[in-house]
Chain A
Amino acid sequence: MTVISVTKDYGLALRQVDLAHGGGRFLGPLSLTVAPGEVVTVMGPSGCGKSSLLAFVCGTLDPALTGSGRILLNGEELASRPPEERRIGILFQDDLLFPHLSVAGNLAFGLPPEIRDRKARRARIEEALAEADMSAFYDRDPETLSGGQRARIALLRTLLSEPCALLLDEPFAKLDVALRARFRSFVFEHARAQSLPTLLVTHDPADAADAGGPVLEIDAGGQVMARRTAHLG
């Protein structure tokens, strides 16, 4: 990671981020920068506030918690914007496909409204499905899909919303081992292909190794313990 003047830089940058609950700080201060196409991993024991960190970044922090610090995406300040205007996509442990919508309905929910034409929208969804080898699933009820298929649809839904950064909240934890590696490369490939700055939180070292980017370790008290760079250059 490099010291930079944030205003000029592309990517996602957190500066002096603090998270507190009723006045007591439980995470931070934390600063990090994620360049476009790079995956930064934050590791730490459960309960150290990793998920809250991501919630803070995408603007959905529990109202009982308070966060401070700067969030910059491609040089623009995000902290004061509502979540729907931040253009930050997030994937959780569970796929959270909307059970009342079909696969296509879920994808259409993610697609920006600026694509007005119904045919164009349909084409965009079909294209995404085809690219993931899932063309046959257009009208399916998400209930009828396997865990791996659901996970892929969840990622497609996020990517179709044309985010400028991607947050991953242990999205591989619930998949079985064989599937996990496959889906992980699927996610990272897409993130790189679209040059998305990607922030991953996990407690699985294999996730961090596969991500191949810088790793921040946080202890149970929410302090940054170590920063490693997994691959240089």
Chain B
Amino acid sequence: MTRRDLLAYLPGATLLLFLTPVAAGLIGTWLPAFGYFPTLGGHSFTLEPWVMLFDHPGLRESLRLTLVSGLLATVISFSLTVFFLAACHGGRITLAIRGLMAPLLAVPHAAMALGLAFLIAPSGWLVRLVSPWATGWDLPPDVATVQDPNALALTLGLVMKELPFLLLMTLAALEHSRAEERLAIARSLGYGPVMAWLKTVLPAVYRRIRLPVYAVLAYSLSVVDMALILAPLSPPPLAVQVLRWFNDPDLTMRFVAAAGAVLQLLLVVGAIALWRLGEILVARLGRLWIAGGRRGGKGRVLRAATTALVQLLVAMAAAGLLAMALWSVTRRWRYPDALPSVFSTDIWARQGHDLLWITGTTLISGLAAAFIAVALVLGCLENEKRRGLTISTRALWLLYVPLLVPQVAFLFGSQVLSIQIGIDGTWVALVWSHLLFVLPYVFLSLADHYRALDERYSRTALCLGASPNRVFWRVKLPMLLRPVLFAAAVGFAVSVTQYLPTLFAGAGRFVTLTTEAVSLSAGGDRRVMGVFAFLQAALPLIAFAAALALPRRLARTRILREQRA
């Protein structure tokens, strides 16, 4: 009885575990933004931080960069997802792309950004491949292709990272939308394939991908690690500027930083509200458009165009990763050679000690966060099955809050909280801060599978005399082994990606592959960057490969075990 009661408290406890740092973080950021921060002598409320913020000479440019890159990246990745799927639904290319998207999704943002930089920089691989024989450039061209004044490189990097996410989320949503039936009916009424998809499938699918789209919007507007690598730095996009103010040796700048963090939050909230308005408008116009009855053509041009674009993005991502791998084993690669002239593994050996420590930290925090997240999510879902939908189960959507609130907008405040309870800079704070972002994704990837498991299996097992706990361990968990391991890999990958949480919660005491790769990008040696970025990209991929391979091995040993039973 007591055990079952414990389970009943789990959803509430999980929510508390997650909302406390976010809520405390927001309060701990809003108060200093209005001048209240006793530790630094701010005892009364004032608008001084806001005056200083708006007087900052680079603010207007920072805002412009943030808005251009954030909105453009979201609109491009969303449109490309929709039109690609509309034009290629059910085709072989969709299957192929789906297979390629999963590993791309696993690649951390920072590694993707570094790969892109290795590729498109003036002295990058692309220019080297065509120089000097085609271009005549004996020296790298003097054009800012990375950290360009309009943050287009950042936009491109964001699209490369967000497209796989949106594509996979939409493909998953399609499975629950009876798309084939809708398409069959529309096609039999004379609609072309693209029109049929846009007019009958998209309205059903969009409801299911709204949250991921908002998450993409929020993320793109507040990204820090990719911006540090790809965006201009003077002035930088808002989120990076806020981080700089938080790290400013002049402690009074913390007040300005807090105001900037609040501004960042308002920016995201405003953008989501704007997007929501756009949704309503498009839905209105869309209904008229659908009622118009235009059948549309075969959509060949759209298919060719979107396929080419998606393939180009995948190829660039892959080439970027390859470039990192190449640089990591290079001794000499002079411009404009297409390939390194001397290979060596020196760099790996020279970084050996650091590599071990940093990889170890990354592994421990990733595995711990993934394990705790999977356990909590399983507990919440199991409770939901046993008890039906209760208030605390219904409130679980609040778990997605950390995906919508910009990290810079609350992590500073959360750090204040962790200092107060004495866990600042400890493993607990580090793993907890990662969990905030790991758990929503684990929930997202596991919930559908768990809810779709045929309820009659557990009923049968109960009627055979097995207790609910035995049913969970012996029936449900083994049957869901694949999705559970996959969710754990997702959680691990998300943890590896975390940059800001590691900086803030770790209080600078923890270095992960991500923080190291980003800090090296500020100027260091491309070969060393290559080592860390390559390893950073490789770890999540290994985790996914293991999640796919492990169930097969277990299946083999299982049979042996039962023969003995």
Contact = CB atoms under 8 A, between A and B. Distances in A.
B474 A109 contact: yes
A94 B454 CA distance: 11
Interface in A82-101: 82-90, 92, 94, 96, 98-101
B465 interface: yes
Contact of A60 (B459, B465, B466, B481): B459
Contact of B466 (A59, A101, A109, A121): A109
Nearest to A169: B456
Given A63-B388, A84-B466, A104 B565 contact: yes
A58 B463 contact: yes
Interface residues of B, number: 31
A84 B459 contact: no
B56 interface: no
A77 interface: no
Contact of A62 (B388, B462, B465): B388
A161 interface: yes
A99 B79 CA distance: 41
Interface string B369-383: 000000000000000
Contacts of B460: 90, 92, 96
B390 to A, nearest CB: 9
Question: Max chain B CB contacts within 10 Å: which of A86, A89, A98?
Answer: A98
Given A82-B468, A100-B558, A90 B565 contact: no
B559 A139 contact: yes
Interface in B468-517: 468, 474-475, 478-479, 481
B464 A109 contact: yes
Contacts, number: 92
A55 B479 contact: no
B299 to A, nearest CB: 41
Interface string B329-349: 000000000000000000000
Nearest to B467: A84
B475 A161 contact: no
A94 B558 CA distance: 24
Interface in A142-166: 157-158, 161, 163
Contacts of A167: 463
B563 interface: yes
Contacts of A85: 465
A102 B562 contact: yes
B457 A98 contact: yes
Contact of A89 (B464, B478, B564): B464
Interface string B428-461: 0000000000000000000000000011111111
Given A63-B387, A94-B456, A104 B463 contact: no
Interface string B527-565: 000000000000000000000000000010011001111
With a 10 A CB-CB cut-off, give which of A110, A139, A167 has the most chain B CB atoms.
A110
A161 B388 CA distance: 28
A98 B562 contact: no
Contacts of A84: 462-463, 465-468
A99 B389 CA distance: 28
A63 B389 CA distance: 8
Query: Which residue among B464, B468, B558 has the maximum number of chain A CB atoms within 10 Å of its CB?
Result: B464
A59 B457 contact: no
A201 B481 CA distance: 34
Nearest to B475: A98
A112 interface: yes
25 contacts: A58-B459, A60-B462, A60-B463, A82-B462, A82-B467, A83-B463, A84-B467, A90-B459, A94-B456, A96-B460, A98-B461, A100-B478, A100-B555, A101-B562, A102-B563, A104-B562, A108-B565, A109-B464, A110-B465, A118-B565, A121-B565, A141-B559, A158-B464, A163-B463, A167-B463
**Which 6 A-B pairs rank lowest in CB-CB distance, beginning with the nearest?**
A63-B388, A83-B462, A100-B478, A60-B459, A105-B562, A161-B464
Given A104-B562, A110-B465, 20 more contacts: A58-B462, A60-B455, A60-B458, A60-B463, A63-B388, A82-B462, A83-B459, A83-B463, A84-B463, A86-B463, A90-B463, A92-B460, A98-B478, A100-B558, A102-B562, A104-B565, A109-B475, A112-B465, A118-B564, A161-B464
